[in-house]
């Protein structure tokens, strides 16, 4: 993987017992790593793994899920710990917990409290090119309107369609949103795991789109998602988005299937330098620090 490509690729991982060892074998520091927050783990596992990865020299982006945080005091404890580890970027989402554990029922309130704690954190928010399984288009648009002015970047749901992503970025531009957008794409993962995770990630419509292609029909029959050409998908998206100033790079959902990750990273050709970033008022927005 070239230096130029590395600057526009980052990998999402799940906290696990052997994460540090398995990740360092295939994806060394200081590459950027995004650490997810699952409901059954809670934020503490994410913070712990993020601090350990930062200690190894990785550029770490922890996820904090609003509904999993029990209090503002707990949030501030996490933020102090992360700041102390040199971590300067966060990805803030509502999370998959059905009900809030504390005062945060959605990510907007969480973002506000993080900003009150410190203006030093760069903040990423979620984007949904193909909608969300539990939110209406109006709810998504309304939430985005309230959050994006406090954010520094966006990461999209996992998507299989370059056309859907291009339409989404066009919509954001029309709505006046000015953020660098990381496009979520799948890493190597079994079809069984992908289907199990699909609904939770909000990618149901994208999965239907993928199943509708001849290549994907064969893929589903073989039951091996590794045969899906993620590099081709990324090249298609790169071609379609190369001159879009909102396109920051690719966010790879690894599902911790890390042994097969080099096939994606090393097979991707060097990317062109990113287009000049969009401006909002007097400020020039670059991809959030990783």
pTM for the model stands at 0.84
- Selected residue with higher pLDDT from 187 and 154: 154
- Selected residue with higher pLDDT from 228 and 91: 91
Specify whether the CB–CB gap between 130 and 159 falls below 8 A: yes
Query: pLDDT band for position 11 (50/70/90)?
Result: very high
Query: pLDDT band for position 197 (50/70/90)?
Result: low
- In terms of DSSP H, where are the helices of 96-222? 107-117, 137-147, 162-174, 191-201, 204-211, 214-222
Q: Please work out, in degrees rounded to the nearest 5, the angle formed at the alpha carbon of residue 77 by the alpha carbons of 76 and 78.
A: 90
Please list the residues that pair with 65 across neighbouring strands: 93
Q: What pLDDT, on a 0 to 100 scale, did the predictor assign at position 280?
A: 38
Calculate mean pLDDT across residues 7-29.
93
**Strongest mean pLDDT among 42-51, 195-204, 208-217:** 42-51
For the chain, give the percent of residues with pLDDT over 90.
56
Task: Please check the confidence at residue 217 and state whether its pLDDT lies above 50.
Answer: no
Q: What pLDDT, on a 0 to 100 scale, did the predictor assign at position 216?
A: 46
Q: What pLDDT, on a 0 to 100 scale, did the predictor assign at position 282?
A: 34
Give the domains, in start order, of the chain with CATH numbers: 3-258 (3.20.20.220)
Q: What pLDDT, on a 0 to 100 scale, did the predictor assign at position 227?
A: 53
CA distance 177 to 157: 17
For residue 241, report the phi and psi dihedrals to the nearest 5 degrees.
Answer: -110, 0
Instruction: Summarize pLDDT for 166-181 with one digit per residue, the tens.
Output: 999 999 999 999 999 9
Q: What pLDDT, on a 0 to 100 scale, did the predictor assign at position 160?
A: 81
Query: pLDDT band for position 192 (50/70/90)?
Result: low
Task: Please check the confidence at residue 77 and state whether its pLDDT lies above 80.
Answer: yes
Query: pLDDT band for position 66 (50/70/90)?
Result: very high
Note every long-range contact of 229-238, with CB atoms under 8 Å and residues 24 or more positions apart, other chains counting: 230/185, 230/186, 230/187, 230/188, 230/264, 231/264, 231/267, 231/268, 233/160, 233/162, 233/185, 233/186, 234/185, 234/268, 235/268, 235/269, 236/162, 237/162, 237/165, 237/183, 237/185, 238/271, 238/272
């Amino acid at each position: 993987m070239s230096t130029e490509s590395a600057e526009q690729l980052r990998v999402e991982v799940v906290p696990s017992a052997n994460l540090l060892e398995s990740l360092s074998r295939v994806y060394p520091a200081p590459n950027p790593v995004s650490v997810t927050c699952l409901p059954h783990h809670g934020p503490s596992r994410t913070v712990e793994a993020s601090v350990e990865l930062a200690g190894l020299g990785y550029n770490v982006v922890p996820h904090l899920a609003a509904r999993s945080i029990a209090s503002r005091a707990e949030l501030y404890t996490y933020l102090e710990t992360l700041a102390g580890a040199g971590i300067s970027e966060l990805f803030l989402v509502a999370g998959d917990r059905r009900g809030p554990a504390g005062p945060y029922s959605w990510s907007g309130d969480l973002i506000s409290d993080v900003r009150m704690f410190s203006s030093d954190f760069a903040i990423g928010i979620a984007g949904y090119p193909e909608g969300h399984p539990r939110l209406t288009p109006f709810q998504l648009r309304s939430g985005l309107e309230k959050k994006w002015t406090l954010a520094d970047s966006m990461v999209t749901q996992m998507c299989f369609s370059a056309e859907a992503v291009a339409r989404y970025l066009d919509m954001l531009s029309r709505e006046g949103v000015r953020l660098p957008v990381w496009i979520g794409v799948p890493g190597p993962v079994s079809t069984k795991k992908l289907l199990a995770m699909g609904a939770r990630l909000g990618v149901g419509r994208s999965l239907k789109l993928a199943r509708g292609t001849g290549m994907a029909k064969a893929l589903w029959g073989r039951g091996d998602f590794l045969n899906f050409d993620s590099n081709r998908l990324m090249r298609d998206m790169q071609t379609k988005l190369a001159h879009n100033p909102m396109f920051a790079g690719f966010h790879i959902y690894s599902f911790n299937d890390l042994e097969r990750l080099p096939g994606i990273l090393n097979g991707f050709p060097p990317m062109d330098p990113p287009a000049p970033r969009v401006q909002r008022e007097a400020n020039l927005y670059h991809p959030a620090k990783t």
